[in-house]
């Protein structure tokens, strides 16, 4: 079996605040194979975006990557110096950020920002750089790309700005694209267009994608495998079909149960009680235990006392839950 394109091992990224240490990412491990789409899903504040920023080595202060390995084609990105990781970004790994209008420079035209990528990494300047920028705008489906290349971010809609971000990210045909909530704040029609665009470009270029989202509908449509995160940890990882047909972790079951289904009428949608725990003051034992119906229904005391490990329960299916761990005396 070929080695993964990206392998994250026991990643720990902490933020040192006046109130204490926030364990935003705490022991996260997963892999991405060449050409596949991995979805990372979970509620806001579960550590999805910090995981992606850790891979890109873009953690802002007071954050710090404390431990782990991020292996890309066998090279640990955490061992690279500033010049080496800067060269890697854009050329080998690219990222589409959550807010396109906030990520684009407001005082530079769209074409100039795309052509800068070619100048920095390929030393392609001037007219040729501009022509390549226009070609990328055309490739992502922007009408009249010559004119739009001369437009500023504030002159574009959210969907148009997102297409510019995708054009920038894919300019150098990276092996891995990280898309952090690429359809947030876009209307449903534009969301579908952006997802279709990403899928088409991924097939054309053969890039692997890490798709970060809280939308399980997007996961079902786009992804090959899924990692579900909760409170800074991966709690379940499997292929997308298995996740929807046979979710194991009570948190995953709650997320899927909260989705309205077309044609089915319910008196009320299922909800997960409580809130995501404070990452500075995490509960003892399983981090989901205070909100878990399975714990109370089966009277499992171990859940509040000991933290479960992410274990493999079936081929290509891992779960972090005492319900499936043989070390649980009640299992």
CATH code of 28's domain: 3.40.50.300
Sheet containing strand 93-96, strands side by side: 93-96, 176-180, 208-213, 37-41, 225-230, 233-239, 317-319, 311-314
How far is it, in rounded angstroms, from Cα 133 to Cα 113?
8
- Report the alpha-carbon distance of residue 301 to residue 46 in Å, rounded: 24
Query: What is the pTM (predicted TM-score) of this model?
Result: 0.91
Q: Which phi-psi region, left, alpha or beta, contains residue 75 (left: φ > 0; alpha: ψ -120 to 50)? A: beta
Alpha-carbon distance 43 to 304, whole Å? 21
Q: Are residues 133 and 65 part of one domain?
A: no
In terms of domains, do 24 and 77 share one? yes
Q: Whole domain around residue 227: which residue ranges?
A: 1-92+174-273
153 and 25 within one domain:
no
CB of 198 closer than 8 Å to CB of 208: no
Distance CA 323, CA 68 (A): 27
Note whether residue 102 is domain-resident: no
Residue 327 has what pLDDT? Answer: 67
Burial (0-12, 13-18, 19+ Cβ within 10 Å), 297: exposed
Mark whether 5 and 64 lie in a shared domain: yes
Distance CA 321, CA 288 (A): 9
Q: Which of 151, 170, 189 is the last residue of a domain?
A: 170
Residue 192 falls within a domain, yes or no? yes
DSSP E strands in the chain: the ranges are 6-17, 20-32, 37-41, 63-72, 75-76, 93-96, 176-180, 208-213, 225-230, 233-239, 311-314, 317-319
> Could you tell me if 264 and 157 lie in one domain?
no
pLDDT at 262: 63
Residue 122 and residue 75 in one domain:
no
Q: Does residue 32 sit within a domain? A: yes
Model pLDDT, residue 225: 97
Q: Which of 140, 170, 200 is the last residue of a domain?
A: 170
User: Which of helix, strand or coil describes residue 318?
Assistant: strand
Q: Is residue 216 part of a domain?
A: yes
Look at residue 155 and tell me if it is in a domain.
Answer: yes
Q: Give the residues of the chain that fall short of pLDDT 70.
A: 1, 185, 261-267, 327-331
CA nearest to 185, candidates 96, 100, 256, 259: 100
- Residue 300 counted as domain residue: no
55 lies in the same domain as 153: no
Task: Based on the fold, state whether residues 86 and 2 are members of the same structural domain.
Answer: yes
Query: Which structure tokens are listed for 2?
Result: 């070929």
Statement to judge: residues 88 and 217 lie in one domain: yes
pLDDT at 141: 86
Asked if residue 286 is part of any domain, the answer here is no
Does 53 reside within a domain?
yes
If one counts the domains in the chain, the total is: 2
Structure tokens at 92: 């080998």
Co-location of 31 and 154 in the same domain: no
213 and 153 in a common domain: no
- Domain end call among 120, 152, 170: 170
Question: What is the sign, positive or negative, of the torsion defined by CA atoms of 2, 92, 35, 50?
Answer: positive
Find all residues with CB under 8 Å of 294, minimum gap 6, and list them.
250, 300, 323
Q: Name the burial class of residue 313, with classes exposed (0-12), middle (13-18) and buried (19+) by CB atoms within 10 angstroms of its CB.
A: middle
Same domain for 266 and 117? no
């Amino acid at each position: 079996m070929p080695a993964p394109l990206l392998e994250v091992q026991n990643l720990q990224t902490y933020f040192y605040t006046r109130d204490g240490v926030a364990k935003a990412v705490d022991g996260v491990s997963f892999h991405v194979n060449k050409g596949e789409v991995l979805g990372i899903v979970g509620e806001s504040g579960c550590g999805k975006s910090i995981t992606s920023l850790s891979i890109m080595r873009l953690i802002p202060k007071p954050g710090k990557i404390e431990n782990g390995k991020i292996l890309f084609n066998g090279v640990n990105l955490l061992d690279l110096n500033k010049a080496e990781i800067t060269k890697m970004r854009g050329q080998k790994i690219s990222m589409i950020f959550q807010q396109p209008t906030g990520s684009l420079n407001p005082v530079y035209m769209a074409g100039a920002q795309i052509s800068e990528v070619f100048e920095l990494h390929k030393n392609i300047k001037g007219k040729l750089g501009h022509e390549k920028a226009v070609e990328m705008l055309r490739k992502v489906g922007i009408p009249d790309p010559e004119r739009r290349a001369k437009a500023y971010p504030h002159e574009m809609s959210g969907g148009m700005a997102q297409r510019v971000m995708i054009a920038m990210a894919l300019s150098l045909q990276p092996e891995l694209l990280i898309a952090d909530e690429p359809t947030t704040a876009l209307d449903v029609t534009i969301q579908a267009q952006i997802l279709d665009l990403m899928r088409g470009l991924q097939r054309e270029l053969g890039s692997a994608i890490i798709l970060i989202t809280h939308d399980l509908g997007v996961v079902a449509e786009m992804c090959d495998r899924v990692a579900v995160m909760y409170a800074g940890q991966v709690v379940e990882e499997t292929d997308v079909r298995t996740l929807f047909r046979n979710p194991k972790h009570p948190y995953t079951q709650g997320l899927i149960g909260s989705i309205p289904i077309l044609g089915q009428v319910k008196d009320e949608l299922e909800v997960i009680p409580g809130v995501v725990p404070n990452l500075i003051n995490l509960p003892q034992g399983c981090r989901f235990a205070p909100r878990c119906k399975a714990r109370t229904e089966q009277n499992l005391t171990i859940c509040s006392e000991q933290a479960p490990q992410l274990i493999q329960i079936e081929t290509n299916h891992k779960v972090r839950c005492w319900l499936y761990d043989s070390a649980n005396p009640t299992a």
